[in-house]
Amino acid sequence: MNKTFITFLLAILLFSCKTKKKEITKADLSGFYEQQGEGEIIEINDSLVISYYSSNFNCYPNWKISREYFNTQTPTITVNADESFNHKEGFTVFTYLKLKEKPTLCKDLTEKQKNNNSYNFETLWNTFNEQYSFFKERNIDWDSIKSKYKAKFTDKTASFEFYLLLEKMVLELKDEHSDFEVPDEFNEQWDSLNKKKDTTDYKTLVQHTILEKYLKNVRSFNEGQFYWGLINNEIGYIQLNEMEEIDSLHKITDSIVNSIKDTKVCIIDLRFNGGGSDLAGLDFLSHFINKEYKVFKKKRRFKNGSAGQQTIDIKPSKNNYTGNVYILTSPYTVSAAETTILATMNFHNFKRVGSNTNGAFSDVLEKELPNGWTYWLSNEVYEGMNGKNYETVGIPPDYKIDYPREKNKFFKSLNIELETEDRAIEKVLDLIK
């Protein structure tokens, strides 16, 4: 090889090293970015990072943080080579793509817009129209809903009356993840309007009755998040009532598994679990598997399609239960409790006893109207690894117990049932004879 050619090669290598692209960091980001699937625009300028609620109707400020805070105090944000960036919450990844220019609708609201009933109504209706995922599944004609409720108010309608009307419109969806938070200014009126004649806490009553009726030496954790014990020497029982994500969750589940490790069967009772964190549910389940699984898929509605497609997996804990597991379900089993059950559909040693779950899987997408009222909606779609979407219908049991679908009726009927026995627990006892 001659010296001229070697010199040429060295020159190319040196040039390549010098022209290698500098890694992009958060400090390099500038301009406007669109979140793929939740109706959010992010503005990044020299001094501030501003989030906007966005739809085809309007685009108005949500929160602001300093540019310095964004650059140095946001470890959940990672920057991509194309100047987009990702934000991770739990196992969910949100992507923000850079726009060529500032969207024309993005601007501060006037006081008139903030306090105008018609403007707030249009904001709410359009946000759901563009970002809600389940009109078809819930058999909703959203255009007809608009006509129906738009005729019921004027810009002079009193605030509380207008609030009740908007809430009633959203509740037409019959979706546990779509509703309004009661504004502080209406607490007294709301409480007066919703006084209950029967104030019995049937949920707590039936939870404790089951423990007293079936368990020996009941143990508990975190004010009733967990109750557990033995039904007999061969059957363990865990009542998991909330998917709260706490630092000690993995450790306490280790302790629970150790206390039932010599049993042949474990009953996990999720009939009273109203949800919480998907991560908490999967962390709990990691103690009941011995290999890694892909457990479900999720995506978000975005424009005329979807975005943010992900497949979620779960890895086994070092300490795990090896017996058969029966999960008890009810219409009150909802949200993160349902995604937990969705994951178990991949496990050969799990069976479900009870009724269909609630059928509300999506994470809650929280928004705020121009007038400051907080509401939320479902815009995520969860699917099992079998490709099925169980929204609205819920996950069916392997062994059916006919529970009433309405929440209060379910708790009251179970309270009466427990005067003699718990059909779901008794079904498990029959199955393992």
Asked whether residue 271 falls in the same domain as residue 188, the answer is no
Asked whether residue 307 falls in the same domain as residue 415, the answer is yes
Asked whether residue 158 falls in the same domain as residue 272, the answer is no
pLDDT digits (tens, 9 = 90+) for 199-237: 899 999 999 999 999 998 899 999 999 999 999 999 999
Answer whether residue 352 is part of any domain.
yes
Mean pLDDT of the chain: 94
Asked whether residue 346 falls in the same domain as residue 243, the answer is yes
136: amino acid identity, one letter:
K
Last residue of a domain, one of 108, 129, 151: 108
Question: Pairing relation of β-strands 179-180 and 216-221?
Answer: unpaired
Last residue of a domain, one of 50, 77, 108: 108
Residue tagged 């949200």 (tokens): 335
Answer whether residue 419 is part of any domain.
yes
Residue 14 has a pLDDT of 53
Answer whether residue 313 is part of any domain.
yes
Contact 398, 350 (CB under 8 A): no
Residue 151 has a pLDDT of 98
Residue 263 has a pLDDT of 97
- Could you write out the DSSP letters of every residue in 375-431? EEEE-EEEEETTS---TTT-PPPSEE----SSHHHHHHHHHHHTTT--HHHHHHHHH
Residue 131 is part of a domain; what is its CATH number?
3.30.750.44
Share of the chain above pLDDT 90, in %: 91
Asked whether residue 325 falls in the same domain as residue 340, the answer is yes
d(CA 422, CA 122): 48
Answer whether residue 20 is part of any domain.
no
pLDDT digits (tens, 9 = 90+) for 40-93: 999 999 999 999 999 999 999 999 999 999 999 999 999 999 999 999 999 999
Residue 198 has a pLDDT of 83
Answer whether residue 223 is part of any domain.
yes
Answer whether residue 5 is part of any domain.
no
Asked whether residue 315 falls in the same domain as residue 363, the answer is yes
Asked whether residue 257 falls in the same domain as residue 307, the answer is yes
Contact 339, 361 (CB under 8 A): yes
Asked whether residue 137 falls in the same domain as residue 208, the answer is no
Residue 337: pLDDT band with limits 50, 70, 90 = very high
Domain with 138 in it: 111-193
Taking 80 as the threshold, does the pLDDT of residue 241 lie above it?
Answer: yes
d(CA 305, CA 287): 36
Last residue of a domain, one of 65, 88, 108: 108
Residue 324 is part of a domain; what is its CATH number?
3.90.226.10
Joined together, the tokens standing for residue 183 give 């504004």
339: closest CA among 410, 277, 254, 407? 277
Asked whether residue 335 falls in the same domain as residue 420, the answer is yes
Domain count along the chain: 3
pLDDT digits (tens, 9 = 90+) for 103-121: 999 999 999 999 999 999 9
Taking 90 as the threshold, does the pLDDT of residue 289 lie above it?
Answer: yes
Answer whether residue 75 is part of any domain.
yes
**Which H or E run contains 49?**
strand 48-54
Answer whether residue 354 is part of any domain.
yes
Residue 6 has a pLDDT of 53
Under DSSP, the state recorded for 43 is E
Asked whether residue 154 falls in the same domain as residue 288, the answer is no
Asked whether residue 185 falls in the same domain as residue 293, the answer is no
Share of the chain above pLDDT 70, in %: 95
Joined together, the tokens standing for residue 259 give 């206390």
- Could you write out the DSSP letters of every residue in 65-80? EEHHHHHHS-TTEEE-
Contact 316, 265 (CB under 8 A): no
Residue 196: pLDDT band with limits 50, 70, 90 = confident
d(CA 124, CA 194): 24
Contact 105, 356 (CB under 8 A): no
Mapped to the 3 state alphabet, what secondary structure does 243-271 carry?
A: ECCCCCHHHHHHHHHHHHCCCCEEEEECC
Mean pLDDT within 358-362:
97
pLDDT digits (tens, 9 = 90+) for 138-194: 999 999 999 999 999 999 999 999 999 999 999 999 999 999 999 999 999 999 998
Asked whether residue 276 falls in the same domain as residue 307, the answer is yes
Residue 23: pLDDT band with limits 50, 70, 90 = confident
Through-space distance between the first and last CA atoms of the chain, rounded to whole angstroms: 83
d(CA 39, CA 272): 33
